[in-house]
């Protein structure tokens, strides 16, 4: 799907390169704004059986559904309340979903916070790690609040966990296709939470983002490609669009990936989840 571009990636247009999704059930987290909402909109145009949209409140999810139905009316969309900062909310959402659907074909773990002030989730995990380590799987900081790390460093650590987590899931569950993706610098409100960042860094972000950033419509292409293209390598990390092989020694550390998933499962077992 898609031709190779001069930049080394692929040329991917959702309207023509996403295959028909007849019978597919899809779940997209944080789907009321930004990349999540755009993901639902693009997939809705290709006849899926149903798409579940999650948001922190049902009102937010239902509002997004109303807006998407204005563009694509003949698609089944269902709202699901999910706050990734709370494992109790994750567990509740999982129960609601499994009682509503017998299958799940495509899962987008799409949500994130960036350079957030020091803090912890409802379950005691550093807040960026607890939110960005998908499905609120916690941090490797032994439930510390991350005081030893700056805001951007904590954000980077949480994104490293995402990459390692996908690698280890792919290794252990070979029947699944799992990938982690980077959308590029997208002009969304993600960086608006950088309240702890210095004044000059905020100014730099405001100046640089419009020059280097891409629209949501462009930024969503990498994750849409990774979820629908036939040649996706399970466990791989992709930069836009479909560019594999990036990263560093930490993102390609199988021992660290194994330890992360073992730790995650241990934490969930201790919480009886």
Q: Can you give the pLDDT at residue 267?
A: 84
**221 & 234 share domain:** yes
Judge contact between 30 and 136, C-beta under 8 A.
Answer: no
Q: Can you give the pLDDT at residue 121?
A: 59
Judge contact between 126 and 120, C-beta under 8 A.
Answer: yes
State how far the Cα of 31 lies from the Cα of 81, in Å rounded to an integer.
Answer: 11
Query: Of 51, 82, 110, which residue is a domain's last?
Result: 110
From residue 214, give the alpha-carbon distance in Å to each of 59, 119, 201, 202, 252.
28, 30, 20, 18, 27
**pLDDT tens readout for residues 206-263:** 666 565 578 999 999 999 999 999 999 999 999 999 999 888 999 999 999 999 899 8
| Confidence grade of residue 160 (pLDDT, cut at 50, 70, 90) | confident
The two tokens of residue 32 are 């009321």
**59 & 94 share domain:** yes
Count the neighbouring beta carbons within 10 Å of the beta carbon of residue 93.
21
Q: Can you give the pLDDT at residue 77?
A: 99
Residues belonging to the chain: 273
State how far the Cα of 250 lies from the Cα of 111, in Å rounded to an integer.
Answer: 22
Among 137-151, 195-209, 215-229, the least confident range: 137-151
In degrees and rounded to multiples of 5, residue 55 shows phi and psi of -155, 170
In a domain, 13, yes or no: no
Q: Can you give the pLDDT at residue 130?
A: 44
Q: Say yes or no to pLDDT of 197 above 60.
A: no
Give the CATH number for residue 227: 3.40.50.720
In a domain, 30, yes or no: yes
Q: Can you give the pLDDT at residue 184?
A: 87
In a domain, 7, yes or no: no
**pLDDT tens readout for residues 71-108:** 999 999 999 999 988 888 989 999 999 999 999 999 99
Q: Can you give the pLDDT at residue 106?
A: 96
User: Percent of the chain, pLDDT > 90?
Assistant: 58
In a domain, 171, yes or no: yes
In a domain, 9, yes or no: no
**102 & 117 share domain:** no
Residues with catalytic annotation? Answer: 155
The tokens 């100014």 sit on which residue? 203
The tokens 């269902």 sit on which residue? 78
Query: Of 88, 110, 132, which residue is a domain's last?
Result: 110
Q: Say yes or no to pLDDT of 157 above 70.
A: yes
Q: Can you give the pLDDT at residue 86?
A: 86
The tokens 């494992």 sit on which residue? 87
**128 & 244 share domain:** yes
Q: Can you give the pLDDT at residue 235?
A: 96
**117 & 99 share domain:** no
Per DSSP bridges, beta strands 25-28 and 106-108 are parallel
Q: Can you give the pLDDT at residue 154?
A: 55
Judge contact between 54 and 28, C-beta under 8 A.
Answer: yes
**144 & 235 share domain:** yes
**68 & 173 share domain:** no
**92 & 142 share domain:** no
Across the chain, what does the average pLDDT equal? 81
Q: Can you give the pLDDT at residue 273?
A: 73
Q: Is the dihedral of CA 40, 88, 84, 60 positive or negative?
A: positive
Highest-confidence segment of 59-63, 137-141, 176-180: 59-63
Q: Can you give the pLDDT at residue 213?
A: 78
Strand partners, 81: 55
**106 & 116 share domain:** no
Domain that holds residue 250: 112-263
Query: Of 82, 110, 138, which residue is a domain's last?
Result: 110
pTM: 0.82
Q: Is the dihedral of CA 215, 218, 223, 228 positive or negative?
A: positive
In a domain, 55, yes or no: yes
Residue 67: name the closest of 36, 21, 110 by CA: 36
N- to C-terminal Cα separation, the chain: 38
In a domain, 71, yes or no: yes
State how far the Cα of 59 lies from the Cα of 44, in Å rounded to an integer.
Answer: 20
In a domain, 272, yes or no: no
- The count of domains in the chain is 2
**125 & 106 share domain:** no
From residue 94, give the alpha-carbon distance in Å to each of 26, 28, 31.
13, 13, 16
Q: Can you give the pLDDT at residue 137?
A: 36
The two tokens of residue 225 are 């490609």
State how far the Cα of 82 lies from the Cα of 91, in Å rounded to an integer.
Answer: 9
Q: Can you give the pLDDT at residue 85?
A: 82
Q: Can you give the pLDDT at residue 226?
A: 97
**163 & 224 share domain:** yes
Among 120-124, 127-131, 251-255, the least confident range: 127-131
Judge contact between 93 and 55, C-beta under 8 A.
Answer: no
User: Percent of the chain, pLDDT > 70?
Assistant: 71
Work out the angle at residue 69's Cα, subtended by the Cα atoms of residues 66 and 75, and round it to the nearest 5 degrees: 125
Q: Can you give the pLDDT at residue 73?
A: 96
**55 & 84 share domain:** yes
Q: Can you give the pLDDT at residue 129?
A: 44
């Amino acid at each position: 799907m898609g031709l190779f571009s001069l930049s080394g990636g692929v040329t991917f247009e959702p309207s023509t390169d996403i295959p028909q999704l007849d019978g597919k059930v899809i779940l997209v987290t944080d789907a009321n704004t930004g990349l999540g909402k755009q993901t639902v909109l693009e997939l809705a145009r290709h006849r899926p059986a149903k798409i579940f949209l999650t948001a922190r409140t049902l009102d937010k999810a239902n509002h997004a559904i109303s807006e998407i139905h204005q563009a694509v009316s003949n698609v089944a969309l269902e709202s699901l309340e999910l706050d990734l900062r709370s494992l109790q909310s994750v567990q509740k959402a999982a129960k609601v979903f499994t009682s509503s659907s017998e299958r799940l074909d495509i899962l987008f773990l799409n949500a994130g916070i960036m350079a957030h002030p020091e803090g912890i989730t409802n379950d005691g995990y550093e807040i960026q790690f607890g939110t960005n380590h998908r499905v609120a799987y916690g941090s490797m900081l032994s439930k510390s609040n991350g005081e030893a790390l700056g805001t951007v460093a904590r954000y980077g650590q949480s994104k490293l966990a995402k990459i390692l987590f996908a690698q280890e899931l792919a290794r252990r569950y070979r029947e699944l296709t799992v990938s982690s993706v980077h959308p590029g610098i997208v002009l969304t409100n993600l960086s608006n939470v950088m309240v702890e960042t210095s004044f000059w860094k905020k100014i730099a972000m405001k100046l640089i983002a419009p020059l280097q950033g891409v629209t949501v419509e462009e930024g969503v292409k990498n994750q849409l490609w990774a979820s629908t293209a036939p040649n996706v390598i399970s466990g791989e990390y992709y930069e836009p669009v479909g560019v594999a092989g990036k990263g560093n020694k930490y993102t390609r550390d199988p021992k660290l990936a194994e330890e992360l998933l073992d730790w995650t499962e241990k934490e969930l077992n201790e919480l009886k989840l």
